Amino acid sequence: MEKRKNLQMGIIGVLAVAVLFMAIGFAAYSQTLNINGDVTVKASKWSIHWDQSSYQLSTGSVPLTSETGLPTLSNTDVNFTATLEKPGDFVEFSIDAVNDGTIDAQLTKITMTSSVTAPYLSYEVNYNGTTYTSTTDNIGLDLGAEESATVKVKVSYVAVADSTQLPANDVNVTVGANFDYEQVA
């Protein structure tokens, strides 16, 4: 019977150790809630630029020649010079904006500037089929990775009904268009 009692005491001891072990262990784990994981962050590329090879001068417009001035193209800038001699003349060209990176982008704003505002001058930008004639916010057009969008720029010498509105002298006009892209989350 002494054996039975000793067994009983031994089991009480083991029980105490087991309950204490569980108490300490669960308390230790509940101190901090950790989320552990292995994540590989792939190298990403943010690259939106003009595709110079896609540049096209529309037919019927004022030619941009080596004499009149060929446009200069780079990945981020398109610069051109044109002379519009009479109402009806226009210069129009298209070039593709391409998303060459791994991150999706969204066109958020087109900022259009013109040093001259006059009834004989028309300046518009067409982005993938939609025409803009002034600065526009919150556009929200997506340009996914490896996608491209066609941008057409057209500057026209407009025929006005009132000839007095036509310029009496040569007018130098500087127009500009900035395209703002943001990364899509």
Partner 1 sequence: MKKNYKALLIDNLALLFLIIVFYVITKTVSSNLKSYLAIVFLLLILIPNIIFFGIKKDNNYYLGYTVRSIITILLISGISIYILGIFLGFTKGVFGLNSFLTVAIPEFILIIIWEYFRYIVIGDGYSKFSLRFIFTILLIIFSVLIQVNYTTLVDSYSIFVFVCTIVFPTIALEFLCTFLVHNIGFRPSLLYKSIVTLYVYLIPIVPNLGNYLFGVVGVVIPFITFYTINKSLIRDNKYKKTMDTKSSTYITIPIIIFLLIITILVSGIFHYKMISVASNSMEPTFFRGDAVILEYTKPKNIEVGDILVFKHKNIIVVHRVVNIKNHNNKYYFNTKGDANDNEDKFDIEEKDVIGKVDYVVKYIGYPTIFINEMFRKG
CB nearer partner 1, residue 19 or residue 116: 19
Residue 108: is it exposed, middle or buried by C-beta count within 10 angstroms (0-12/13-18/19+)? middle
Residue 21 tokens read as: 């072990």
The least CB distance from residue 23 to partner 1, in Å, is 4
Residue 12 tokens read as: 């009480």
The 3-state DSSP class for residue 55 equals: strand
CB nearer partner 1, residue 12 or residue 159: 12
Q: Does 24 bind partner 1 (CB under 8 A)?
A: yes
Residue 30 tokens read as: 């509940």
CB nearer partner 1, residue 21 or residue 46: 21
Token pair 């899509």 is at which residue? 184
CB nearer partner 1, residue 8 or residue 81: 8
The least CB distance from residue 30 to partner 1, in Å, is 8
Q: Does 31 bind partner 1 (CB under 8 A)?
A: yes
Give the whole-angstrom CA distance, residue 142 versus residue 148. Answer: 10
**Residues at the contact surface with partner 1, assessed by CB under 8 A:** 1, 4-5, 7-9, 11-12, 15-16, 18-20, 22-36
